[in-house]
Amino acid sequence: SKRYSITLLPGDGIGPEVISVAKNVLNLAASIDGIEFKYEEVPIGGAALDLTGLPLPDETLLSAKQSDAVLLGAIGGYKWDKNEKHLKPENGLLKLREGLKVFANLRPATVLPQLVDASTLKREVAEGVDLMVVRELTGGIYFGKPRGFGTNENGEEIGFNTEVYAAYEIDRIARVAFETARKRKGKLCSVDKANVLEASMLWRKRIMEIALEYPDVELSHMYVDNAAMQLIRDPKQFDTIVTNNIFGDILSDEASMITGSIGMLPSASLGESGPGLFEPIHGSAPDIAGQDKANPLATVLSAAMLLKYGLGEEKAAKRIEDAVLDTLNRGFRTGDIYSTGTKLVGCKEMGEEVLKSV
């Protein structure tokens, strides 16, 4: 029997509820293959701020680093909104990504046949959308230096950030993207703003260079403004998208909304080696926290990504994905994906139904 250690980061808002469901599903699905987990549950975000005064306590980062994989619920809430930058819950997440060196963020956006009508896009446009955004996660304007506040030559107050990419950062995310595309439909679209930004010009140059290693993958380039349009006009044209940190932040959220079910969408953040970070793409939803209303399926599917991408346990991962589809087929829906004729359940009950389907 195999043993893995998992760091659980429930975080804020609905985080603890969805993590609790995902943990149960993970346990059951993996036990069938004789896999066992040792969990360490540690605080991050607002919860950590309240306990320790810091959004990412040293012990949390240490636990995460020493684990085989990290499963995160959600972070943030109104309570800490006015905090200074380094004391915001978000900063805990950014420091965790940096600390784990998880530079590759995989965000699938899939329209499930059962949930086509949840999209605000017309059925014929939304049906069959199945794309993956590969977002660079530890570079670019999020981490670039210099950054801060100052005064310009006229004594005016300024705020500034640096968008910067080094060739090796682009090369490694490019390889992840090409590998991902190769396992999917073999199409990769690189999104940049190379008609304006030097950082994007280097991006495009390196992507074209790395493309030589992947002659079987069909590569295209698109400007970010056009990509924002094309995702709405015809999302099915995309298979795999690779882009920088800030464009990836925007476009992956846009792509997720196209599916109409962001309560369903997982993500994986991976590094060169070391534990990956797995989390739903939705936020902490403070307005429904503690009310047993959250959709736990994004976190359950994040646990499936953890098995697949984090531990290489593809069979157990597939078991979870199938269980989620089966639960949907049996008609169970949380409020965010409810439609007439289906069965409305809370977070816990949804978890129990998924367990039955495993």
Ligand X SMILES: CC(C)[C@H](C(=O)O)[C@@H](O)C(=O)O
Contact 60, 48 (CB under 8 A): yes
Judged by CB under 6 A, the number of residues near ligand X is 7
CB-nearer residue toward its own copies: 30 or 281: 281
What is the closest distance, in whole angstroms, from the C-beta atom of residue 259 to ligand X in the complex? 16
93 lies in the site for ligand X, by CB under 6 A: yes
Which one from 253, 292, 322, 326 is the annotated catalytic residue? 253
CB-nearer residue toward its own copies: 197 or 344: 197
35-61: burial string, b at 16+ Cβ within 10 Å, e else? bebebbebbbbbbbbeeeebbbbeebb
CB-nearer residue toward its own copies: 204 or 348: 204
Bond into 146 cis (ω within 30): yes
Residue 12 falls in the annotated catalytic set? no
Determine how β-strand 276-280 pairs with β-strand 2-11.
unpaired
What is the closest distance, in whole angstroms, from the C-beta atom of residue 265 to ligand X in the complex? 11
Distances (CA, A) of 77 to 20, 49, 97, 347: 19, 12, 20, 20
Scanning 18-26, 90-98, 168-176, 287-295 for contacts with ligand X by CB under 6 A, the matching segment is 90-98
90 lies in the site for ligand X, by CB under 6 A: yes
* Distance between CA atoms of residues 284 and 93, nearest Å: 13
Which one from 12, 68, 192, 249 is the annotated catalytic residue? 249
Token duo for residue 345 = 């359940």
CB-nearer residue toward ligand X: 108 or 351: 108
196 lies in the site for ligand X, by CB under 6 A: yes
Which one from 68, 88, 142, 214 is the annotated catalytic residue? 142
What is the closest distance, in whole angstroms, from the C-beta atom of residue 76 to its own copies in the complex? 8
What is the closest distance, in whole angstroms, from the C-beta atom of residue 71 to ligand X in the complex? 15
* Distance between CA atoms of residues 190 and 240, nearest Å: 9
Contact 69, 275 (CB under 8 A): yes
CA 313-32-115 angle, 5° bins = 70
Scanning 18-26, 89-97, 161-169, 234-242 for contacts with ligand X by CB under 6 A, the matching segment is 89-97
Determine how β-strand 218-223 pairs with β-strand 187-192.
parallel
Scanning 48-56, 88-96, 286-294, 329-337 for contacts with ligand X by CB under 6 A, the matching segment is 88-96
81 lies in the site for ligand X, by CB under 6 A: no
Token duo for residue 145 = 């230096």
* Distance between CA atoms of residues 275 and 180, nearest Å: 18
What is the closest distance, in whole angstroms, from the C-beta atom of residue 148 to its own copies in the complex? 5
* Distance between CA atoms of residues 336 and 86, nearest Å: 33
CB-nearer residue toward its own copies: 33 or 287: 287
Which one from 50, 225, 234, 287 is the annotated catalytic residue? 225
Task: Name residue 106's beta-bridge partners.
Answer: 134, 268
Which one from 4, 23, 192, 193 is the annotated catalytic residue? 193
Residue 193 falls in the annotated catalytic set? yes
> Scanning residues 204 to 263, which ones bind ligand X (CB under 6 A)?
225, 249
Binding site for its own copies (CB under 8 A): 85, 88, 90, 94, 120-122, 125, 141-142, 144, 147-149, 152, 154, 156-168, 193, 195-203, 224-226, 228-234, 246-247, 249-254, 256-258, 262
Residue 249 falls in the annotated catalytic set? yes
Residue from 279, 234, 269, 246 nearest 131 by CA: 234
What is the closest distance, in whole angstroms, from the C-beta atom of residue 175 to its own copies in the complex? 16
Task: Name residue 48's beta-bridge partners.
Answer: none
By beta carbon distance, the residue nearest ligand X is 90
Please count the other Cβ atoms lying within 10 Å of the Cβ belonging to residue 156.
8
List the catalytic residues.
142, 193, 225, 249, 253
Residues that bind ligand X (CB under 6 A): 90, 93-94, 195-196, 225, 249
